Amino acid sequence: MAQYVVRRLLLLVPVVIGILLITFLMKALIPTDAVTAMYQGQLSEKEAAQAIATLRAKYHLDLPWYQQFFIYVGDLMQGDFGESIRLRKPVIDEIGYRYVNTILLTALSLVIALVLGLTTGILAAARRNTWLDVTATTVGLFGISMPAFFFGLLLILVFSVWLRILPVVPHGWMAIILPAFALGIIEAAPLSQVARSNMIDVMRRDYILAARARGQSEMALIFRHALPNALIVVLTVVGLQIGNLLGGAFIVETIFSWHGIGELAVNAIQWRDFALTQAIILISAATYLIINLVADIMYAWLDPRVELVS
Amino acid sequence: MAAGIRSPHTLLDIKGLRTQFGSGRNPVNAVQGIDLQIGAGEILGLVGESGSGKSVLALSILRLIQSPGRIIGGSILFDGKDVLAMSNRELSGWRGRDIGIIFQQPQSCLNPVRRIGWQVAEPLRQQEKLSRKAAWDKAVTLLRSVGIPAPEEKALAYPHQLSGGQAQRVMIAVALALRPRLLIADEPTTALDVTIQAQILELLRDSCRDFGTSLMLVTHDLGVVARLADRVAVMYAGRIVEEGPVAPMLTAPSHPYARGLLDAAPRLGQMGGLRLRDIPGSIPDLSQPMPGCAFAPRCELRANLGLSACLGELPPFIPISEHHAARCWALPQADGIYSTPMTMGTRA
Amino acid sequence: MSTVVLEEPIVAIIPRWRVMAGKLLRNRAAVVGGSVVLALLLLAAFAPWIAPYDPFKINPVQRLKPPSFQHWFGTDEVGRDLLSRIIFGTRYFLLICLITASISATIGTLLGLIAGAGSALTDSIIMRIIDILLAFPYILLVLVVVAILGPSLWTGMAAVGIAGIPGYARLVRSSVLTVKREDYVTSARALGASDAEILFGTVLPNVMSPLIVYLAFATPLSALIASALSFAGLGTQPPAPEWGAMLVNSRTYLFSAWWAVAAPGMALFISIFGMNILGNGLRDVLDPRS
């Protein structure tokens, strides 16, 4: 097992370097560099030229790109993600608590998506071609076609305005309910489809026929024989699904004023605050990478067919 | 009516069984009116080429036909109980306990994420209500009895760690775990290496003999039948065309199709100068109505004798000897042809 | 045992596309989805004649009016007719679909073909890059490009298009690798066809089915992301009647004028839904496994 994990980690090295290069290049590719953006229109031309020269040196913008890259990676290693031009403070200070918020939101919506998606998917597969299956499939299609931002607004309209179950500006734990459901319900749809099609696929296999021929009841076939097989496949999708949740957080956080890194990213891009944007993208990509690594390792651990020793 | 050997006790009694696939205008009639009996302790070989409906018949007996297929007529009595009238609950109790089946691809019949021991023990725990420990111990014993080496360790293995032959041994152990009274083996050795086939067949025969289990051996391989069967039924296009004791069936079959099968089978010792013969033509489209003998369009005998009845009317079973009968219009008229020993290569 | 076919069955030779078209027309999902797409095309083509008002005409007297006989979908916060804006919005929607799909599908397919058919070195270089791009969640990749190019209609479309490339490349590459092993490719090679002939004459047509199905599902997803970008202020900018952008200002009036949110939201939802069920229909017809 340890050997497998090490091998899997080694495979990640080029990907990590690639991600670092991309986030680094983001800055290089941007037409106006950060310093120019910082003082645009605020100082006289002469003052500006002076300030820019000092700051260019300070941020190593006068060095060749590869040296800048090593300085960038070196800074990251020391936990230095740069300074936000707009917020005038280290990026890490702003991102810290917002990252926790985003993880909370993503985790809760994942739970909602899993519970809803798996139960409907498995039920639909077990009662294939009945009204239950048709309903689940149709609702799933609705979920896939529903823009997250519109769905979020609908939830506010229904629960806060019409039904008045939740306050319009919720505080504390209440604030996470609607965004989590907005994300969770939407992501439940593709999960449900994957669970359904995998269950149907597994239920067609010979070993299910053979188990049925041994007198196993339908319930036993579904839960003891088919489900473990189907879930292993679903697990691989869940890893990717979390990417959608992280991505969806950008929109949903904006709508519900949930102070996570998604909301911050949207603002950072509009502010042209590149250090901030860069850091958020890097952290999100790293999170996604780690989640998929964990999913892969779990998959290898759960599926006996994956040989752990090479 | 088929002239089955009446053993003292008829275990399985099928009458007029019909199974259909698909719906709409042209459903496929995979099994069209089968009468078949299997006696207690008997080994029946059911022979036919692929597409003849023999596997569908096997699944129909266990009521394992899945939509869009369905049984549309006839009756199946198992020890006097009406199988077609059983509820799902009754079927669950009956399958495994009284009747078992093993399939062609043993590897794909084992659940890939469950340990071998778990799979052998499962029927014991579910149906015999044995404890986890007792079921596992019995599973290990069963694995040993089907010739799995180091069964304690192999019980902990997963299916992909087994060879094809071992997997089929495990399948036999699972199928026989509850000592059913009838085992259906659908092409049990077809997917295995030739060197393993004989061992598996022996294991099947010996296990069935030890447990007093009847065996229905479904195969396209006459060699397999010759080794094991007491009695043979030949199937073509959803019907049984000839049925009788193994000796005359494998030396002098009466139905032109059965003869064709025999001519097409390679036999040791004859490979030298003789050519194998194939049967010209292919299996008919089972979604089209066939009023006559399904083999008639391919039948050289019909062409040689110029028989007109074959295409128009289904021949009845015509007795050849006490327990031997065939469905062929040529039988009453062609006495001489069938009494002569088989000749090879007449077509060439 | 081998058998000899005596009589060849007589089958009228019908072109494959006509068989497929016939199947599509009998597929309920495809017909419903196709109708939605057709309606979008017609609305976009004849928008100036169909729309009752000028979509940009501000009318402060008529601001935030609920749906009525004069304004079927109501009016927005500056008194513009929502129905007219929705109708003109189809043009943006289809433009976004067309541009994003063209960028992702063309570049992605080319990369996939090169990787799948090229040398081991080209393959591994392309695939390492694809792997790195796929290490970003889809929306994050879009944001990377938007952050570099700056927010606007065109950069938003380019960003969504570029972010879609890795998906196509990976699909096409794996299809090519599968097809390459098939006997008909081996026999084409045995008959002396050149690599390019094999790639475009034999391999590409056999990759088409999965490609079309992928296109049918990826395009509405791209449109969804593009409109989400506009909604977040990172894509099309108001006052353009793009459905996502229409929500930017009207969401402030969610509590008093729900119709200003519902109209563009529903338009987007119905369009995407239509495209998705068209995709379902296409998959049923083109994918022999389902």
CB burial readout A62-89, b (16+ within 10 A) else e? eeeeeebbeebeeebeeeebbbbbbbee
> Whole-angstrom Cα distance, residue B254 to residue B241?
10
Q: Which of A145, A150, A154 sits opposite C273 (nearest CB)?
A: A145
CA atoms of B182 and B98, how far apart (whole Å): 7
What is the separation, in whole angstroms, between the first and last Cα of chain C? 32
Chain A, nearest residue to C219 by Cα = A145
Asked if A231 contacts A222 with a C-beta cutoff of 8 angstroms, the reply is no
Query: What is the 8-class DSSP label of residue B288?
Result: S
pLDDT value of position C205: 80
User: Is C5 within 8 Å of B282 when comparing Cβ atoms?
Assistant: yes
CA–CA separation, A63 and A70 (whole Å): 11
Contacts of B321 (CB under 8 A, 6+ apart): B244, B248
Whether A107 and chain B come into contact, CB under 8 Å, resolves to no
Q: Of C85, C78, C95, which is closest to residue C41 (Cα–Cα)?
A: C95
Asked whether residue A112 carries a pLDDT value surpassing 90, the answer given is yes
Integer Cα distance of C111 and C102 in angstroms = 14
Which pLDDT does position C3 carry in this prediction?
A: 45
Separation between Cα atoms, residue C170 and residue C214, nearest integer Å: 11
Which chain B residues contact residue C3 at CB under 8 A? 278-283
Mean pLDDT score, A200-209: 92
Residue A234: closest CA among A105, A103, A119, A141: A119
- For residue B173, the distance in angstroms to the closest alpha carbon of chain C comes to 32
C141, two tokens: 């990749």
| Low pLDDT (below 70) residues in chain B | 1-8, 266-277, 333-348
With beta carbons under 8 A apart, name residues in chain C contacting B281: 3-6
* Chain C residue with Cα closest to B261: C1
Q: Which of A216, A218, A229 sits opposite B126 (nearest CB)?
A: A216
pLDDT per position as a tens digit, B103-117 = 989 989 999 999 999
**CB of B14 closer than 8 Å to CB of B78:** no
Of B62, B103, B111, the CB nearest to A225: B111
A251 interaction partners in chain C (CB closer than 8 Å): 228, 231-232
Which chains border A (3 or more CB–CB pairs < 8 Å)? B, C
In this structure, which CATH number among 3.30.420.40, 3.30.1360.20, 3.20.20.70, 1.10.3720.10 belongs to the domain C48-286? 1.10.3720.10
Q: Is A235 on the interface with B (CB under 8 A)?
A: no
Percent of chain A with pLDDT over 70: 91
Average pLDDT, integer, range A118-123 = 92
Select from A147, A153, A251 the Cβ nearest to the Cβ of C254: A153
- Residues on chain A touching B89 (C-beta within 8 angstroms): 217
Tokens 């305005």 correspond to: A161
pLDDT above 60 (res C1): no
For the question of an ipTM over 0.90, the answer is no
Q: Which residues of chain B are within 8 Å of residue C4 when distances are taken between CB atoms? A: 278, 280-281
- Please report the pLDDT score of residue B348 as a whole number: 30
- Are the Cβ atoms of B280 and C4 closer than 8 angstroms? yes
* Predicted confidence (pLDDT) per residue in C167-194, tens digit: 999 999 988 888 877 777 778 777 877 7
| Residue A252 scores a pLDDT above 50 | yes
pLDDT of amino acid C252 = 85
B277/chain C closest Cα distance in angstroms: 9
Q: What is the pLDDT of residue A272?
A: 83
**What's the confidence (pLDDT) of residue B288?**
84
pLDDT at C54 over 80: yes
* Nearest CB to A214 within list B88, B96, B114: B96
* Least CB–CB distance from C137: residue in A15, A18, A246: A246
Which of C139, C149, C170 has the most A C-beta neighbours within 10 Å, making it the best mutation to test the interface with A? C139
Interchain CB contacts (distance < 8 Å): A and B: 75
Written as six digits, the tokens of A98 are 């917002």
Give A30's pLDDT tier (boundaries 50, 70, 90): low
Q: How confident is the model at residue A261 (pLDDT cuts 50, 70, 90)?
A: very high
For chain B, list the contacting chains (3+ Cβ pairs, <8 Å): A, C
| B178 to chain A: closest CA residue | A214
Q: Which of B97, B109, B126 sits opposite A206 (nearest CB)?
A: B109
pLDDT at C12: 57
- Using a CB–CB cutoff of 8 Å, tell me whether A41 touches chain B: no
Query: CB B279 to CB C5 under 8 A?
Result: no
More confident residue, B103 or C196: B103
Mutation target for A interface from B98, B104, B109: give the one with most A CBs within 10 A.
B109
Report d(CA C145, CA C126) in Å as an integer. 19
Q: What is the DSSP string of A9-33?
A: HHHHHHHHHHHHHHHHHHHHHSSS-
C-alpha pair distances (Å), A168 with each of A158, A163, C220? 11, 11, 32
Rounded CA separation B83/C227 (Å): 60
- Joined tokens for residue C290: 């389902």
Instruction: Determine, for residues C228 and A274 on separate chains, whether the beta-carbon distance falls below 8 Å.
Output: no
Three-state SS annotation for A74-112: HHHHCCCCCEECCCCEEHHHHHHHHHHHHHHHHHHHHHH
Indicate which of B111, B156, B178 best probes the interface with A, i.e. most A CBs within 10 Å of its own CB: B111
pLDDT score for B333: 63
Taking an 8 Å cut-off on Cβ atoms, the answer to whether B261 and C2 are in contact is no
The shortest C-alpha distance from C284 to chain B (Å) reads 18
Mean pLDDT of C199-223: 87
- On the question of pLDDT at A34 being above 60, the answer is no
Q: Which residues of C touch B49 (CB under 8 A)?
A: 1
The average pLDDT across C212-220 equals: 92
Q: Which amino acid is it at C97?
A: C
Give me the pLDDT at residue A43, please. 65
pLDDT of residue B1: 41
Amino acid identity, position C123? D
Is C6 within 8 Å of B49 when comparing Cβ atoms?
no
Lowest mean per-residue pLDDT among A66-70, A222-226, B216-220: A66-70
pLDDT confidence of A310, banded at 50, 70, 90? very low
C1 to B281: CB separation less than 8 angstroms, yes or no: no
Start-to-end CA span in chain A (Å): 10
- The pLDDT tens digits of the residues spanning A180-193 come to 999 999 999 989 98
Neighboring chain A residues of C251 at a CB cutoff of 8 Å: 153, 255
Q: How far is B270 from chain C (nearest CA, A)?
A: 17
Size of interface A-C (CB pairs under 8 A): 131
Residue range B221-242, pLDDT digits in tens: 888 888 899 999 999 999 999 9
Long-range contacts of range A122-125, CB-CB < 8 Å, 24 or more positions apart?
A: A122/A195, A122/A196, A122/A199, A122/A222, A122/A227, A122/A230, A124/A192, A124/A196, A125/A195, A125/A196, A125/A197, A125/A199, A125/A200, A125/A203
Q: How far is A201 from chain B (nearest CA, A)?
A: 14
pLDDT above 90 coverage of chain C, percent? 40
The pLDDT value given to residue A135: 86
| C residues 141..160 contacting A (CB < 8 A) | 143-144, 146-148, 150-151
Tell me whether residues C6 and B279 touch, CB distance under 8 A.
no
DSSP C75: B
**A159 Cα to chain B: minimum distance (Å):** 44
Please, what sign has the CA dihedral across residues C85, C88, C90, C94?
Answer: negative
Residue A119 pLDDT > 70, yes or no?
Answer: yes
Asked whether residue C105 carries a pLDDT value surpassing 60, the answer given is: yes
Contact flag A218-B88 (C-beta cutoff 8 Å): yes
Answer yes or no: is pLDDT of C2 > 50.
no
Which region holds residue B279: left if phi is over 0, alpha if psi is between -120 and 50, else beta? beta
CB contact under 8 A, B280 and C2: no
What percentage of chain C carries pLDDT values higher than 70? 94
Is the model's pTM score more than 0.80? Answer: yes
For residue A206, list chain B residues with Cβ-Cβ distance below 8 A.
103, 105, 108-109
